[in-house]
A and B are shown apart, each in its own frame.
Chain A
Amino acid sequence: MVSSLTKYYGEFKALDSVSFTVDKGWVYGYLGPNGAGKTTTIRTMLGLLKPDQGEVQIASVNPSKDPVNALQIVGYAPELPILQAFFTGEQLLDLMGKMFGLSMQERVPKIKKLLELVGLQDWGDKKIGKYSKGMIQRLSVALALIGDPMVLIMDEPTIGMDPEATAHFRNLFANLSKEGKTVFISSHLLDEVQRICTHVGMINKGRIVFSGPISQVLEAFTEKWIVEAELEKVTEEVVSALKSLDCVEDVKVDGNKLMIPLKEKKDSRGEISTEIFNHKGVLLSLNLHKATLEDAYLRAMKGGI
């Protein structure tokens, strides 16, 4: 739980009364433009930054006051992590395992399993200085998982990864959520967030614009669903007929294409195709464009509806 968090960097107010709650088992996507305060929020949540006002509680414990108990259940993968280049991947995982109080018997099999999980099984004994950016990012996720955390905090976790790895980690985070872990992801990849997150928070200029279920943000911050119809030939008769439908708000003609905004967020392709057929139109394609998180995000950042 983050409550009225305010943070200044000198005169600059980086966080302005930021509040939100993330419950157990949620996959929470934290969105915002560069410099909005995402990383500052995360670093304050971990006790790395001292808030000027407000407080953070992880499982009812404030990490600034009791980092040992609060962070024992937290795994953190920073944005563009910089890891100790003189260690091998195995050595750094071993060190972090020690910090979580794991015994040697627990650490050895766990390190092997995690390296396999992030696809670094052949690189565990190599110095981190030789890793690529994507490999460091993968290792960072493994480091976040070493303590078997209940809460995972990931700051742009798939930056620098190839599409295959991105898909792999997307599935990994979804699976972790199914295991009952809470996953907090800060990301710019809206498509990724829409696919795996149950809830989202949006921050702009240090202020929370929205926090809640992803369905709610789509509802609140998107305008219309649009049906795009491609016809062999667009006639005035077809356009008039479509405009008369209850579900249709408007019909815009673009060559042989019709852009049809709907009054409600409901799939009305059946009614539209029937009406086109009834008025002797030849339909080549018919697509429904639902609201995306990107639409909602852009709208939210502009000041909402």
Chain B
Amino acid sequence: MNALQRIAVILWYEWRRALAKKWVIVLIVLAILFEALPFLILSQNMAGILTDVRETMWVAGVLSSQSLFIQIMAIQIAGSSMSEEYEQGTADILLSKPITRVEYLVGKFLGGFLLLSLVEAVTTITGLVLSFVVFGAQRNIQFVPLIFVTVVYATLVFYSLTFMFSEVFRRSNLAMFAGFGVFLVSYFVGSYMFFLQGQFYKDISQLLPTWSAMSLPMSLVIDLNLLPSGWAAFAGGGLGFTAPGDVRLAATIIVVYTVIFVALTYLRFVRSDVTKKAA
């Protein structure tokens, strides 16, 4: 059995573990509802202002779920990934088997991330189908895979951050709380800086973790002319305001954050004891 096969076993295990939990199923159902409701509301009450974007409403649908929902989902999935094994005392059973800690870590990380990708795939397909049903034929659907991959990629910042918290704190609730905390603080500080004038504030806001995570998909949508910038910012900005920007910069910042968080997780995990069930 080689390393890839061992990683695949842990990855499969991670899926089974996550899907055994009711809240994950609830979140997937919510993802579909979250996608469907805005379409229904817009089609009923705001048909007049949608003239320019009727044929690309699928983009707005994908961006709106990405902006908040998928980030929250990333924090939820990553927050319990490592910590639950310590909390429930099941880490012993897995790590006393012929597997390296790196393989275990990679299997866990990829397992949760692929599950998150599946949820995003469900919301993307739902958004696509609903936009056809509610608003008629859609244009530029050849960009669906690219937008999907971009959205999934953009979740890496908060996924890897909360994954790190999950290993460092070894408590699910604490990891999720910390993940949400960073998200909210970064989100609202970024929104505040959006209104401040000056390059300095702009530069600072772009270094905040929420900027790259939320700005990348909307910036790409604007670059590809899939939606007018105002619509893209509205759909992709969530409750606050995130300025679109350079796609490459956002992509790079995501890589940097992810590498840092994964490296810290690795260092903590390989150097520390596997603790028994948390008291």
Contacts and interface: CB of A to CB of B under 8 A. Distances in A.
Interface string B83-127: 000001110111111111100000000000000000000000000
A96 interface: yes
Nearest to A155: B92
Interface string A97-112: 0111100000000000
A82 B99 contact: no
A203 interface: no
Nearest to B8: A98
A86 B16 contact: yes
Interface string B125-155: 0000000000000000000000000000000
Contacts of B101: 67
Given A82-B277, A83-B90, A98-B9, A48 B17 contact: no
Interface in A53-78: 67-72, 74, 76, 78
A46 interface: yes
Contacts of A82: 88-90, 93, 277
A67 B101 CA distance: 9
Nearest to A42: B96
Nearest to A65: B100
Given A48-B92, A84-B17, A87-B16, A99 B274 contact: no
Interface in B237-279: 271-274, 276-277
B97 A99 contact: yes
Interface size class of A (residues with CB under 8 A): 20 to 34
B6 A99 contact: yes
Contacts of A100: 1, 97-98
Interface in A260-304: none
Contact of A68 (B20, B99, B271, B273): B99
Contacts of B100: 67-68
Most buried by A among B6, B13, B273: B273
Interface residues of B, number: 28
A189 interface: no
A81 interface: yes
Nearest to B94: A99
Contact of B17 (A43, A81, A86): A86
A87 B271 CA distance: 30
A50 B98 contact: no
Contacts of A86: 16-17, 20-21
A233 to B, nearest CB: 61
B96 A48 contact: yes
A152 to B, nearest CB: 12
Contact of A83 (B17, B93, B276, B277): B93
Interface string A194-209: 0000000000000000
Given A69-B98, A95-B9, A49 B90 contact: no
Interface string A143-165: 10001000000000000000000
A81 B89 CA distance: 8
B93 A78 contact: yes
Given A82-B88, A83-B93, A99 B98 contact: yes
Interface of A: 43, 46-50, 67-72, 74, 76, 78, 81-84, 86-87, 91, 95-96, 98-101, 143, 147
7 contacts: A43-B92, A43-B273, A67-B100, A68-B100, A82-B88, A84-B90, A96-B97
Given A47-B95, A95-B9, A147-B97, 13 more contacts: A46-B95, A48-B92, A48-B96, A48-B273, A50-B272, A67-B98, A68-B99, A68-B100, A71-B97, A72-B98, A76-B96, A95-B13, A99-B6
